[in-house]
Amino acid sequence: MVFFTVYKKGQGIYSRVAVGIALGILALFASVSLYNVLIGLPNVAESANIPLVDIDLNWGLIGAFLLFVLFGFLIGIFIIGLETGLRPLDYSGKRAIEFLIETQGELQKVSWPTRVELVGSTAVVIISVIMIGVFILGVDWFVSIIMEYIGVL
């Protein structure tokens, strides 16, 4: 078994990249949130800090970094298809990649509207929302007048 090879290289590139970026942003947010929770933990050493950004090297930072690395590894397995030698993890990763490849294939079959159709449809939706909003406003006003008249409000 060859480790760290890309599963079905060249297929589903756009969907893999989009999902990978989205999951990477989520991993970054999770790591920052963990760091904010663990920020009060003691420093690793007395005067240990990271020189370029001047942040104290504490256990919360190390925990957040390890979480980000773990998420990055899992993203690599489920998006790129890196084989780890662990059968359940590799099988799940291949299933996720097959789903992304099939999703991109289905999106390529869609007949996308032209600019004129898109503008027309958008105008219809906006006008419909405005009309429904005005109708609900009118019904609400009418019901509130009736309620005030009979003394409920």
Together in a domain, 70 and 122 = no
Digit-coded pLDDT (tens) for 76-129: 877 877 777 777 777 777 888 888 888 888 888 988 899 999 999 999 999 999
Together in a domain, 79 and 68 = yes
pTM for the predicted model, two decimal places: 0.61
Together in a domain, 118 and 103 = no
Together in a domain, 73 and 137 = no
Q: Which residues of 7-119 form beta strands (DSSP E)?
A: 49-50, 55-56
Together in a domain, 62 and 42 = yes
Residues spanned by the domain of 66:
13-109
In a domain, 2, yes or no: no
Instruction: Extract long-range pairs of 131-139: CB within 8 Å, 24+ residues apart.
Output: none
- Structural domain count of the chain: 2
Phi, psi dihedral angles at 114 (to 5 degrees): -75, 170
Structure-block tokens of residue 63:
């925990």
DSSP 141: H
In a domain, 8, yes or no: no
